[in-house]
Amino acid sequence: MSLAGASCLVTGAGGFLGQRIIHLLLEEEKELAEIKALDKAFSPETLQNFGRTEVKILTGDIRDDPFLHGACQGVSLVIHTASIIDTLGLVEKQLLWEVNVTGTQLLLETCIRNNVQNFIYTSTIEVTGPNCRGDPIWNGDEGTPYESTIGFPYAQSKRQAEKSVLAANGQSLKDGSTLSTCSLRSMYIFGEGCPFLQSHLDRSLLNKNVFLRISRKEALVNPVYVGNIAWAHVLVARALRDPEKAERIRGRFYYISDDTPHVSYADLNYELTKEMGFGVEPKLPMPLTMLYYFALLLEVMSFLLRPFFRYIPPTNRHLVILLNTPFTFSYRKAQWDFGYAPRHQWKEAKQRTSQWIAAVIPQRRAYLKNKAA
């Protein structure tokens, strides 16, 4: 079923995933009534790429109630990708919670007041884990039991936001209809424009074109290409308009992966750049147990220095566990329930991403050179 006649609001529309979702909607859904692109800021390049007539740009804060009320008027579908992603503790916990949790709850309340019928939430694998013990999961699914012990603020905020989204499913709207919600738990997303990949690239350029070994080779994960996670959002949006499919997916979460080979995070960086002459360090800078306690020491230092100045350690225990725990998930249930299948195979995803990396290397070299000067 198509989205013909639907008015769609995409939050986080200026971001890595949000942009891709909008471009895919424009490509696949020619009869959409309207796309509203909401974000706190847009780059000039983003505005140009979106087009002038097909997308309405809304610049504002997701915590602004009157702004959200105006954004949601006349909308029938919300795709909520906006959030602060923080794995290092760079962002104050209060701000993280205000945007990721309170902002999501406010958006849900606004949708109910404005009779928005369908709400899709972009969640993350981190709401599942890994837990503080680093218990692995191999090819898990939505029914895989796992004892989550989430203590890091970002993961906590995403888990609470997802809980609010799924709990809102079935709530009555003012016009007598009901709200349908669904959450997509994405694996680590890579692809053209990936900010984390660019950060790793910068460090490798400073390290003579060798990527740092941030994860042991055995810590297999299954990253997902940005074009595939964007496609999953479009398919869920369509499914929520189909009564039979909607009955299966309403109020549920789904793991979204693709056919990217299972690799460690460090080896993914290498796979995407090895044909350009990049390498990757053969092993972790120290044994894993020692690395964990080194991260703990840095956290203690950060705590002790807090009265004097804010020191953000380059790593922490959560990140050490996250990067070094085997954690892979299947997309079978998404395939069964709403017909998800990767739109881009690994060969194409790798080629597209590698071409983007090759294109940005000169400007990253220039940027790092100027920064060091």
Burial class (CB in 10 A: 0-12, 13-18, 19+), 316: buried
Structural element, H or E, at residue 77: strand 77-80
Exactly one of 154, 225, 254, 340 is catalytic; name it: 154
Strand, coil or helix: what is 280?
strand
Alpha-carbon distances of 173 from 73, 110, 226, rounded to whole Å: 13, 10, 33
Total residues belonging to the chain: 373
Q: Is 270 a catalytic residue?
A: no
CA 77 to chain centre: 19
The answer to whether the CB of 127 falls within 8 A of the CB of 150 is yes
CA–CA gap between residue 138 and residue 330 (Å, rounded) = 9
CA angle 44, 50, 55 (to 5 degrees): 120
What is the set of active-site residues?
154
